[in-house]
Amino acid sequence: MSSDMSQIQINQAGHLAIGGADALDLVKKYQTPLVVYDVKAIRDQIHHFQKVFQDNGVDYAVSYASKAFACIAMFQLINQEDAHIDVVSGGELYTAIQAGFPMDHVSFHGNDKSVEELEMAVDHQIGVIILDNFHEIDLLKQILDEKDAHINVMLRVTPGISAHTHEYDQTGQVDSKFGFDLQSGQARKALNLVLADPRMTMLGIHAHIGSQIFEVKGFEMAATKLIDTLGDWHKDIGYTAKVVNVGGGFGIRYTEEDDPIAPEMFVDAIVKAIKKRVGELDMPMPAVWIEPGRSIAGPAGYNLYTVGSRKDVPGIRSYVTVDGGMGDNIRPALYQAKYDAVLANDPKAPVKETVRVAGKYCESGDILIQKQPLPATKPGDVLAMLATGAYGYAMASNYNRNPRPAVVFVENGKDQLAIKRESYEDLIHLDEPFTLK
Ligand SMILES: Cc1ncc(COP(=O)(O)O)c(C=O)c1O
């Protein structure tokens, strides 16, 4: 049996099932490489987050970090579940506009938002711009004056705590390209600038301490630090924050090596830490916002590939190559991310060997999985990589001029195309002929 059966469903035909659909039927209909999302898994995770806030009696927003995976259908699904989104570019914002996403549920992040992007945010009266630096405050001031407009803002701060998968670092994150530093007084200076501008309404503060975090402690410490900061601002200048936004970063299971708590348990710990400190400081309880990306999109996604060639290097290892790779999922090549895979046409078949799963791109580094136990495979088999829904398609490229895969959503056995497969014509549609002599 291949390595991790706990994450998958197998149907009566003995095939991998995703959202009630047979993975092989999806492959027949849409070809490979194919990205498939289990819609119910996305909905369920949003509900789990929402329930934590409701159980704790706290005002909240679950704001999906759309950098994990964005397209029109995804935004429409997120909106159906009453979740917010955060965007980090004009392109993500444009997609949300085209999706009909309620603009008052959009937060805009980024450490170098352009004038055009800020204007777009102001013109569409998005929910909040999360200010990242002094240059941005200047730009936004000018834009608001020119347009005689008003906008909600928050300050992104670096609380001096960074978290890595299993550790946190109390002195970390000060040296970051994002946000205003708390220690040196930058954040207080930014607060004064914002409060002095009647065109900006200061909603509160934001911090994001890292990604794929397994350790609750760093989140609790950062959340407490944010409340301490708001407590100081309340005491010193009477500023009362409406919102504290603790970012995302809740770790998920990619392989058997990962054993995180459920994503909502992080949020429960954060909310309790915030309530405790707010009580101790006797200050008004702000709404708590979170920005999960990976934990909403990641486990819901599957990348389906067709097995092609094979190379056996005697005494060393075997390479099994699939018809995708770093163009549809660059994470293994970029930062040695690990994944698990199953044979979609027979996930329960006994393991026969451990192979290296290679992509088809012209790079030696295009290896999707370094060591994957698998049953015997043959060309034409379908391999499913698990938990690929976050930062996979979102980082896809046309390297080697390979078209990007199609993306399909599945729920209750019904499927729909969410993003079409790119064609060769799509690949050249921005190209211009050579005209210089
Ligand atoms: C500001 C901010 N919020 C939220 C996220 C989402 O993090 P994750 O996908 O790990 O939940 C990120 C990821 O980089 C981020 O930078």
DSSP letter string, 48-62: HHHHHHHHHT--EEE
Amino acid sitting at position 324: G
**The pLDDT of residue 161:** 87
Q: Where in the chain is the domain with CATH 2.40.37.10?
A: 9-31+300-428
Cβ-in-10-Å burial (0-12, 13-18, 19+) of 316 comes to exposed
Domain 39-297 has CATH 3.40.50.1100: no
CB atoms within 10 A of CB 19: 24
User: Whose Cα sits closest to atom 14 in ligand 1?
Assistant: 211
Known catalytic membership, residue 71 = no
CA 222, distance to chain mean position in Å, is 20
Q: Which of 13, 115, 362, 376 is catalytic?
A: 362
The pLDDT tens digits for 96-131 are 999 999 999 999 999 999 999 999 999 999 999 999
Q: How confident is the model at residue 174 (pLDDT cuts 50, 70, 90)?
A: confident
For ligand 1, pick from 208, 264, 391 the residue to mutate: most ligand atoms within 8 Å of CB. Answer: 208
Q: At residue 3, does pLDDT exceed 70?
A: no
What is the rounded distance in angstroms from the CA atom of residue 369 to the CA atom of residue 332?
7
Say how many CA atoms lie within 13 Å of 158 toward its Cβ.
24
User: Whose Cα sits closest to atom 3 in ligand 1?
Assistant: 247
Cβ-in-10-Å burial (0-12, 13-18, 19+) of 236 comes to exposed
Q: Indicate the SS3 state at residue 22.
A: strand
Q: Where in the chain is the domain with CATH 3.20.20.10?
A: 39-297
Q: How far is the CA of 254 from the centre of ligand 1 (A)?
A: 17
For ligand 1, pick from 63, 67, 180 the residue to mutate: most ligand atoms within 8 Å of CB. Answer: 67
The pLDDT tens digits for 389-413 are 999 999 999 999 999 999 999 999 9
User: Whose Cα sits closest to atom 5 in ligand 1?
Assistant: 248
Using a 6 Å cutoff on CB, does residue 210 contact ligand 1? no
Using a 6 Å cutoff on CB, does residue 295 contact ligand 1? yes
CATH topology of domain 9-31+300-428: Lyase, Ornithine Decarboxylase; Chain A, domain 1 (2.40.37)
Model pTM?
A: 0.97
Give mean pLDDT, residues 140-159. 97
User: Whose Cα sits closest to atom 10 in ligand 1?
Assistant: 249
Q: How confident is the model at residue 2 (pLDDT cuts 50, 70, 90)?
A: very low
Q: How confident is the model at residue 4 (pLDDT cuts 50, 70, 90)?
A: low
Give mean pLDDT, residues 175-180. 88
The pLDDT tens digits for 310-359 are 999 999 999 999 999 999 999 999 999 999 999 999 999 999 999 999 99
Using a 6 Å cutoff on CB, does residue 327 contact ligand 1? no
Using a 6 Å cutoff on CB, does residue 247 contact ligand 1? yes
Q: How far is the CA of 368 from the centre of ligand 1 (A)?
A: 23
